[in-house]
Structure 1
Amino acid sequence: MPIPELCEPFEHRGRELLAVFTEFDEKAEGFEPGRLTRVIRILILDEDAVLMESGDVIRRLRTGQTYLLKPKKMSGAGLVEIDLHPVDGRSVERTF
C-alpha cells in the first residue's frame, strides 16, 4: 500500500482514488545525447488499476490538470505504475 502522506486525490470516470504522483526528467538513450524526457507517473493500488485502460483520462484534483493514461506496469506486489501524458499537449521531450 502506498504511504498515505505521499498520496493525493485523482478522479477517473467520476470516481475519486488516491495515487502517488511523481514528475521528473530522465536522460534519453546514449544515442541521443542532451535529450531529456519528462516522466510523469502515478503509483496506485491494483484494485484501482483494474478499472483503468490505456488512453483513459485522469484528472489530478490538486491542480485540475488532466492526463492520458499509458499502458500499465504491474508490479506483482499490489501496486501498479502508470505513465501519464498531459492532455494540454505539453511536450515531454526536449533537448538542451
Structure 2
Amino acid sequence: MPNVTLQVVPFELGGHAASAGAFSILRFPEEDLPNKVYIEHLDSSLYLDKPEELDQYTSAMEALCVAAPPPSQTPDILAKIRKDFEASVGVL
C-alpha cells in the first residue's frame, strides 16, 4: 500500500525505543479528532491523548525510524528472518 511504510528493527541491533512494548499512533485527517496513542495488553487497552503522552510516543516512534534500517532493506531483512526460521524448524 502506498501509504504504509514498514521498517524492521533486527534483534542484533539491541534495545530500542519501543522495547517496553508495542504501540500505535493514530492520526486522523479530521482536525477536530485528536491524535491518540493506542496500547494493547492481554486483558485491556489504553488510549492516550494528553499532549505530553503523545510527545513521548511520537519521540519514541521517530527514534525507531532512525534506528531501523531504511524501508528499502525491509524485504531483505524479512527474507532472512524467514530463511532463518525455516532452517530452525526444518522446512526445506
The TM-score normalised by the length of structure 2 is 0.27
Identify the structure with bigger relative contact order (alpha carbons < 8 Å, sequence gap 6+).
Answer: 2
* Rg (Cα) greater in structure: 2
Higher helix share: 2
TM-score, normalisation: structure 1: 0.26
